Amino acid sequence: MSATANRALWQKNPILAWRELDGEIVIISPNNSVLHELNETASFVWKQLDGRRSGAEIATSLAAQYDVKPEDALGDIETLVEELASRQLLVPADNPSTERTE
């Protein structure tokens, strides 16, 4: 498991704007106006990345929602978190109070 995925808690980057459209999350960064789109399962995970819930907790929810094994769900979440963090869409939850609720 990578160092990124090993971090315990992640939260959405508070500078981002995001919203759900047709069941999918779209995100824009005010720094470059790049639009990021998440598919259905990634959108499900995104909404739960609040700086408080761990990957394992989210994996349990994802497994229940989509009828997959929790260990498979956790692996997918770790991959997703790493990708989102590399795009600076997620930041470490050093200050969970900054989490914005949609």
Partner 1 sequence: MSASHATLGQSSGQQFELSIGRVPLRLNVSDARVFSEASERYQAFATSQEQPFAVYLMNSFSANGGNPEFAYDFEAQQAALRAFSRESQFVGANNPYTLDCLLRILLTWMLLPRAGFLLHAATVVRDGRAYLFTGKSGAGKSTVASLATEGSVLTDELSLIRREDGVWRAYGTPFWGEFRAGDLNVSAPIAGVFRLMQEENNRVTPLRSVELLRAMIGNVLFFSRQPADSQRLLNIISHAAQELRGYTLEFRKDRTFWEALPA
**CA-CA distance, 65 to 30, in Å (whole number)?**
32
Per CB under 8 A, contacts with partner 1 among 20-79 are 21-22, 24, 26, 28-31, 33, 35, 37
Residue 50 DSSP one-character state? B
**Least distance to partner 1 from the beta carbon of 57, Å?**
27
Task: Read off φ and ψ for residue 30, nearest 5 degrees.
Answer: -65, -15
**Least distance to partner 1 from the beta carbon of 99, Å?**
12
**Count of residues in contact with partner 1, rule CB under 8 A:** 18
Site string for partner 1, 83-102 (x = CB under 8 A): -----------------x--
List C-alpha distances in Å: 6 to 3, 63, 68, 100. Answer: 5, 20, 21, 23
